[in-house]
């Protein structure tokens, strides 16, 4: 078959049912192969960056590899921010880019860009195909790499003429890579870690995004319940353990909950599950590591001792490791430790009793009104993102989509779109953004409206780049520069221009009524614009 047809055959082998992309001359043969077939749905976005974010959202929602496609030159380079976002958060993705014909490589042809060198720092691996016979095995290898071990994005660059060449194709079933059994030394190390846990006086578990990637939520719950361990979550670990679990203390880090951060500071043993100890989690590293031991469990051996040294490191399949750790019998119920934690929970409980509409109040209202409903949450980046992590209640893995490592403004709307496409009518996606982020990728409302996706968008409009303004207030003597969005924009009319129903709210009652109406309408996208007081931030 032709190379383009072989690409689609390989995608079907990998259970791909959706690709996100934007056409151009060098990728057009692949689009032509998509014409008329029904197994793989192609989603035309409004910008290639959004194709990558949508594929990322699809992958986070499903646990499968997300796929995006783009043409050479600007099409490929526009994918880079989305690829980097997936790389920093360990999201499985395959990006397929068209390239100029082989004979034109290196001649500065129209829309020629060396996308391999551009993306090398932000991909798990990348390939340039130079022989049509390599096309099929390379695609299979790329998918295996994207999903195995520590997941991540892989890019395949295909010169246009190879899509037309005849290639040999024989169907091959996808093989699942299963983790090997731990050796004797590993089991001994796990036993040492288990002994540290049962002998600690103030142990604490940190749940990171690796728990979700590993599908280890059930094992993690069994682990913390067996030993009565308090648990906190990172930004990426939200949903790994239900937010309402009685042993959950909340979100840790620079913008985290006081109880959670106090607990980390007072713990004598920290058990980190799938967390890479990012700087916004640890803050001052010497203070973070002082007077406590660490057990670090991660799929990636390179993460062990990279940030936090002198830990007991266990690199491998998390489910296997947790089962090994649970062989020890508990020695204590940590009553004194839990008494201290409960005291902090009461002291630092957030007071939602206010007559004013604020973002924390609104997000708590979202949590209350969606409790028990099949919903998921996608955020952009900024103050609203931190408030969402603090005030939403995420009960299920893969229902929290946010850019953690790269911190990509504009991520939320296309990611919400990708997740909503993945879930169909099984789950409703609520997108939370600010007036800064929505200006970056709000054009994707066009695709959402065109496809009739029932995404709910909540725009917190405070007429500022809120996080920048907050940093300038606290660290730069209130020198407010390049943060004021004081030119009035009508976000209701903006949404309505795409054919989306929208409403502006300025009171708690108006917000609750608008949200209920949006939740009741399961067929159409809705936008709620919150006019919030700038003095609040």
Residues 194-211 have pLDDT tens digits of: 999 999 999 999 999 999
Beta bridge partners of 94: 67, 154
Residue 424 has pLDDT above 90, yes or no: yes
Query: Is there a contact between 495 and 445 (Cβ–Cβ < 8 Å)?
Result: yes
pLDDT of residue 137: 97
d(CA 139, CA 107): 27
Query: Nearest Cα to 518, choosing from 345, 365, 319?
Result: 365
Q: Summarize the confidence of residues 363-378 as an average pLDDT.
A: 97
Percentage of the chain beyond pLDDT 90 is 91
Q: Summarize the confidence of residues 377-390 as an average pLDDT.
A: 96
180 vs 282, higher pLDDT: 282
Backbone angles phi, psi at 503, to 5 degrees: -145, 145
Task: Give the pLDDT band (50/70/90) at residue 309.
Answer: confident
Backbone angles phi, psi at 22, to 5 degrees: -150, 130
Q: Is domain 359-531 given the CATH code 3.40.50.970 in the classification?
A: yes
CATH of 184-348, one of 3.40.50.1220, 3.40.50.720, 3.30.590.10, 1.10.238.10: 3.40.50.1220
Residue 537 has pLDDT above 70, yes or no: no
Task: Give the pLDDT band (50/70/90) at residue 183.
Answer: low
Strand order in the sheet with 93-99: 41-44, 18-21, 66-70, 93-99, 153-159, 125-128
Task: Tokens for 226, please give them.
Answer: 């067996």
Which of 85-89, 172-176, 262-266, 397-401 has the least mean pLDDT? 172-176
Query: Is there a contact between 484 and 464 (Cβ–Cβ < 8 Å)?
Result: yes
What average pLDDT does the chain have? 94
CATH of domain 3-164: 3.40.50.970
Backbone angles phi, psi at 441, to 5 degrees: -130, 20
- Domain residue ranges of the chain, discontinuous segments joined by +: 3-164, 184-348, 359-531
Burial zone of 73 (CB within 10 Å; 0-12 exposed, 13-18 middle, 19+ buried):
buried
Tell me which residue has tokens 């500065």. Answer: 108
Residue 504 has pLDDT above 70, yes or no: yes
pLDDT of residue 536: 43
pLDDT of residue 535: 45
Task: Give the pLDDT band (50/70/90) at residue 174.
Answer: confident
Percentage of the chain beyond pLDDT 70 is 97
Task: Tokens for 246, please give them.
Answer: 């009685």
Identical fold between 3-164 and 359-531: yes
Three-state DSSP string of 278-310 = CHHHHCCHHHHHCCCEEEEEECCHHHCCCCCCC
d(CA 341, CA 338): 5
Residues 132-172 have pLDDT tens digits of: 999 999 999 999 999 999 999 999 999 999 999 999 999 88
The whole-model pTM stands at: 0.95
d(CA 300, CA 148): 11
Three-state DSSP string of 7-45 = HHHHHHHCCCCEEEECCCCCCHHHHHHHCCCCCCEEEEC
Three-state DSSP string of 500-532 = CEEEEECCHHHHHHHHHHHHHCCCCCEEEEEEC
Residue 459 has pLDDT above 80, yes or no: yes
Query: Nearest Cα to 139, choosing from 19, 273, 289?
Result: 19
């Amino acid at each position: 078959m032709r190379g383009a047809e072989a690409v689609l055959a390989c995608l079907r082998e990998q259970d791909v049912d959706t690709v996100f992309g934007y056409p151009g001359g060098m990728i057009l043969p692949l689009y032509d192969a998509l014409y008329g077939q029904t197994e793989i749905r192609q989603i035309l976005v409004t910008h290639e960056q959004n194709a990558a974010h949508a594929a990322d959202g699809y992958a986070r929602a499903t646990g499968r590899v997300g796929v995006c496609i783009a043409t050479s030159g600007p099409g490929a380079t526009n994918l880079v921010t989305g690829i980097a976002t997936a790389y920093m958060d360990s999201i499985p993705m395959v990006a397929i880019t068209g390239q100029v014909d082989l004979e034109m490589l290196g001649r500065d042809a129209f829309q020629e860009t060396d996308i391999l060198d551009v993306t090398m720092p932000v991909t798990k691996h990348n390939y340039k195909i130079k022989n049509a016979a390599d096309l099929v095995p390379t695609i299979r290898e790329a998918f295996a790499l994207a999903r195995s071990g520590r997941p991540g994005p892989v890019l395949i660059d295909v010169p246009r003429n190879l899509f037309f060449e005849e290639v040999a194709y024989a169907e091959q079933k996808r093989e699942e890579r299963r983790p090997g059994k731990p050796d004797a030394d590993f089991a001994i190390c796990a036993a040492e870690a288990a002994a540290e846990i049962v002998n600690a006086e103030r142990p604490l578990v940190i749940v990171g995004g690796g728990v979700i990637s590993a599908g280890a939520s059930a094992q993690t719950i069994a682990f913390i319940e067996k030993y009565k361990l308090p648990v906190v979550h990172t930004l990426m670990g939200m949903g790994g353990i239900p937010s309402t679990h009685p042993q959950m203390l909340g979100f840790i880090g620079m913008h985290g909950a006081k109880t959670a951060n106090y607990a980390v500071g007072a713990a004598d043993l920290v058990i980190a599950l799938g967390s890479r100890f990012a700087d916004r989690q640890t803050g001052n590293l010497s203070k973070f590591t002082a007077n406590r031991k660490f057990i670090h469990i991660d799929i990636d051996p390179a993460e062990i001792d990279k940030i936090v040294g002198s830990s007991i490191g266990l690199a491998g399949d998390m489910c296997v490791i947790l089962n090994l750790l649970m062989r020890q019998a508990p020695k204590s119920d940590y009553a004194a430790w839990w008494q201290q934690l409960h005291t902090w929970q009461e002291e630092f409980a957030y007071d939602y009793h206010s007559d004013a509409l604020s973002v924390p109040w609104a997000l708590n209202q979202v949590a209350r009104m969606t409790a028990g409903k099949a919903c998921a949450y996608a955020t952009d980046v900024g103050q609203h993102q931190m408030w969402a992590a603090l005030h939403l209640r995420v009960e299920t893995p893969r229902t929290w989509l946010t850019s953690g490592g790269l911190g990509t403004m504009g991520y939320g709307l296309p990611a919400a779109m990708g997740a909503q496409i993945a879930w169909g009518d099984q789950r409703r996606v609520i997108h939370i953004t600010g007036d800064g982020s929505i200006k970056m990728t709000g054009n994707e409302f066009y695709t959402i409206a065109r496809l009739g996706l029932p995404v709910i968008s909540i725009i917190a409009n405070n007429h500022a780049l809120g996080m920048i303004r907050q940093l300038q207030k606290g660290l730069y003597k209130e020198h407010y520069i390049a943060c004021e969005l004081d030119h009035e924009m009508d976000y209701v009319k903006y949404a309505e221009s795409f054919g989306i129903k929208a409403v502006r709210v300025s009171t708690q009652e108006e917000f609750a009524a608008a949200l209920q109406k949006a939740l009741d309408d399961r067929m159409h996208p809705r936008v709620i614009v919150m006019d919030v007081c700038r003095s609040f931030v």
